[in-house]
C-alpha cells in the first residue's frame, strides 16, 4: 500500500489486510496523521516523496515484498472476509496462474453501485512476486503480467470519497494528471471537449447507470465534472 494523507481510511484498510504475512506501507510524505495511524499495525514502513506518477511508489512498494504472492491494496479499499478466504485458498493452489483479477464494488453516495461502469470494475491486484510490474503511465496505472491470469469471484470493496473535502482533493489531483496524459498522447481539442459528454452518455445510459437511481446519476455527474475539469485545465494551458 502507498498512501498520502489517508489517516481517515487506514484503520479500515490495514485491518482488513492484517492477516497477510507482511504489510508493506509507503507513506508518500503525508502531512496528517497517516504515519502514526499506519504504525498502529505491523507494517514495514517507508517514506517517499509524493510523486504525481503514482506507479513509481507503487512499484517501489512491490520491490520491498519478500512473500511469494503480492496484493496491491489502496488506502480507500477493504478486503472482505470472503475475499480473504478466497485469496488464501487460491494462492495455496494457484495452478499455472501468475496473477488474478477480481471485481471491485464502489460505494458512492450511500450506495453500492451495480452498473454505470462502477461494477464489476475489474482490477488486477494479486500476482506472484516477480511476475508483474507497473507500466510507466501518467494516470490509471496498470500492471503488466508475465504469464496467464485467473479470476477471483469475491469483490474488493472501494470507498472512493470519504467527504466533500476528499472529493475536491481527488478531483484536483486527477484533473492535473489526466490533463498531462492528454498532452502526452497528443489528444485533439475536439476529443478533449467531447470526452466529458461521451463519458456521461456511456456510464449513465449505455452502461445503465440510471438503474442505480439517484446515486447512479450523481456518480455519472461526478465523472462528468472530473473529466471536464481536466479538459478545461488542458485547454487553458494551451
Q: Which domains does the chain have, with CATH numbers?
A: 2-158 (3.90.550.10), 164-237 (no CATH)
Max avg pLDDT among 6-10, 185-189, 229-233: 6-10
State how far the Cα of 220 lies from the Cα of 211, in Å rounded to an integer. Answer: 12
Give the tens place of pLDDT for each residue, 211-230: 999 999 999 999 999 999 98
**Residue for cell digits 488506502?**
75
Give the tens place of pLDDT for each residue, 31-60: 999 999 999 999 999 999 999 889 999 999
Please choose, from the candidates 74, 23, 26, the residue with its C-alpha nearest in 3D space to the C-alpha of residue 49.
26
Beta-carbon contacts of 16 under 8 Å, excluding residues fewer than 6 positions away, are 73, 78, 79, 80, 84
Give the tens place of pLDDT for each residue, 120-149: 999 999 999 999 999 987 667 889 999 999
The pTM score is: 0.91
**Residue for cell digits 498532452?**
183
Beta-carbon contacts of 206 under 8 Å, excluding residues fewer than 6 positions away, are none
Number of CB atoms found within 10 A of residue 157's CB: 19
Question: What average pLDDT score do residues 69-84 get?
Answer: 98
Beta-carbon contacts of 189 under 8 Å, excluding residues fewer than 6 positions away, are 235
Whole-number mean pLDDT of the chain?
Answer: 93
Amino acid at each position: 500500500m502507498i498512501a498520502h494523507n489517508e489517516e481517515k481510511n487506514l484503520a479500515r484498510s490495514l485491518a482488513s489486510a492484517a492477516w497477510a504475512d507482511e504489510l508493506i506501507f509507503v507513506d508518500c510524505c503525508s502531512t496528517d496523521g497517516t504515519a502514526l495511524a499506519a504504525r498502529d499495525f505491523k507494517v514495514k514502513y517507508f517514506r517517499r516523496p509524493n510523486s504525481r506518477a503514482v506507479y513509481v511508489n507503487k512499484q517501489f512498494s512491490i520491490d520491498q515484498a519478500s512473500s511469494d504472492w503480492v496484493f496491491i491494496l489502496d488506502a480507500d479499499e477493504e478486503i472482505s472476509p470472503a475475499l480473504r478466504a478466497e485469496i488464501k485458498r487460491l494462492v495455496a493452489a494457484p495452478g499455472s496462474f501468475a496473477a488474478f483479477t477480481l471485481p471491485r464494488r464502489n460505494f458512492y453516495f450511500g450506495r453500492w453501485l451495480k452498473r454505470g461502469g462502477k461494477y464489476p470494475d475489474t482490477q488486477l491486484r494479486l500476482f506472484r512476486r516477480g511476475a508483474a510490474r507497473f507500466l510507466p503511465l501518467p494516470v490509471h496505472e496498470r500492471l503488466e503480467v508475465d504469464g496467464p491470469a485467473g479470476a477471483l469471484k469475491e469483490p474488493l470493496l472501494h470507498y472512493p470519497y470519504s467527504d466533500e473535502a476528499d472529493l475536491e482533493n481527488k478531483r484536483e489531483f486527477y484533473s492535473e494528471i489526466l490533463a498531462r496524459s492528454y498532452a502526452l498522447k497528443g489528444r485533439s481539442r475536439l476529443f478533449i471537449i467531447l470526452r466529458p459528454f461521451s463519458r456521461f452518455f456511456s456510464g449513465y445510459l449505455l452502461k445503465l447507470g440510471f438503474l442505480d437511481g439517484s446515486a447512479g446519476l450523481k456518480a455519472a455527474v461526478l465523472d462528468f465534472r472530473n473529466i471536464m475539469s481536466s479538459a478545461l485545465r488542458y485547454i487553458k494551458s494551451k
